[in-house]
Amino acid sequence: MDLIFNELSLAPCAPSREIARERVKTFLETLRTAFSQGISRQLRTQEAFKDSLLAEGYSWWAWMTDSVVDKEERQYLKALATRTPFLDGLQDAQDQSMSCEVFFDNKKAEGLGAAYFTEGLSVSLNSNSHWDMPFLVVTIHELNDGGELIESHHDLPHASHPDHIEKHHQSWIQETIKRSVTSWSDLWESRTGFFPSLIFCEGIREQMLDLPKNTLQSFVRGLFCLEKYCQSWGSGGFDLSALGCQSSSEGEVSKTRFKDERTFSCQDGQKITFIYHVKLANPWRIYFDPTPGPGRMFVGYVGRHLRTKHDH
């Protein structure tokens, strides 16, 4: 799933550069909230995005080079706004757009149209009350097989503030992303976009590709649970009770007698004994370790529950 910029939200321009900076600050907070839900970390924009005005004489490019703005914030947006035009590389969506136009408030809406064609999330600057909404009603103009113009309306998921995502779109985003994953190889190839906070240790790819396909969605849900916790873990120690999914720590016998089975090679060859796991439907588990945190975790093993004192 992609984030797609609504170019109509550039109007009206901010009355001052200070207000323009505040709008962009809220916009970036919205993007971060979307990424925390697993949306791919890029922003699709219109062809002339960087030259578009935020305020009189103050473009996106001027903002990106504005010394008043935090340097990390400027670099963050520069790295994200890489997909222009909106439907770059999406042939199916490009074909659909040839026979269908999307309008908002009687204005052609290229960005909102791209979100409609791709099932992406449209994002806006919060420049007026039009955009301070979690859904936008867009009008679809399409020719039927008889050459007649058919008009229809669609509620398009949308965000211009973090609250729009947190209060209205979390479930939809998660379900849309999960539907897009149809194989273990898809999941592995998309891991950095879906799970930017998780560090996958050696052997995980091979373990994934060896798992039954009917377990895929269970593991996807478990990994998203770990990612969501990491995104909200800003400081302090790890709290297993706040993880948000069924999980536990290994018993003392497992930690000692079966320590070797729970020791995995991670980043830079570092070997760690994993004592926590997410419980999926029996017998499946995800073993994880919060040592890199706050905000980061190792994933050391995906597969069947490792041996305990109850196994012989």
Supply angle C-alpha 150, 158, 113, rounded to 5: 35
Q: Is 120 left (phi over 0), alpha (psi -120 to 50) or beta?
A: beta
User: Is residue 219 over pLDDT 70?
Assistant: yes
Residue pLDDT, tens place only, 152-176? 888 999 999 999 999 999 888 887 8
CB 142 within 8 A of CB 152: yes
User: Is residue 245 over pLDDT 90?
Assistant: no
Task: Report how far apart the first and last C-alpha atoms of the chain are (Å, whole number).
Answer: 45
User: Is residue 206 over pLDDT 70?
Assistant: yes
Supply angle C-alpha 37, 226, 33, rounded to 5: 20
What confidence score (pLDDT) does residue 93 get?
Answer: 57
Residue pLDDT, tens place only, 3-42? 899 999 999 999 999 999 999 999 999 999 998 887 878 8
- Alpha carbon distance 250, 295 (integer Å): 22
User: Which pTM was predicted?
Assistant: 0.64
What confidence score (pLDDT) does residue 296 get?
Answer: 95
Residue pLDDT, tens place only, 247-292? 888 877 677 787 888 899 987 778 999 999 998 877 899 999 999 9
What confidence score (pLDDT) does residue 204 get?
Answer: 94
H/E run at residue 286: strand 284-289
Instruction: Please state the rounded mean pLDDT for residues 77-83.
Output: 79
Instruction: Please state the rounded mean pLDDT for residues 37-50.
Output: 84
What confidence score (pLDDT) does residue 146 get?
Answer: 60
Residue 306's pLDDT band (cuts 50, 70, 90): confident
Of 126 and 98, more confident: 126
Percent of the chain with pLDDT over 70: 91
- Alpha carbon distance 83, 123 (integer Å): 14
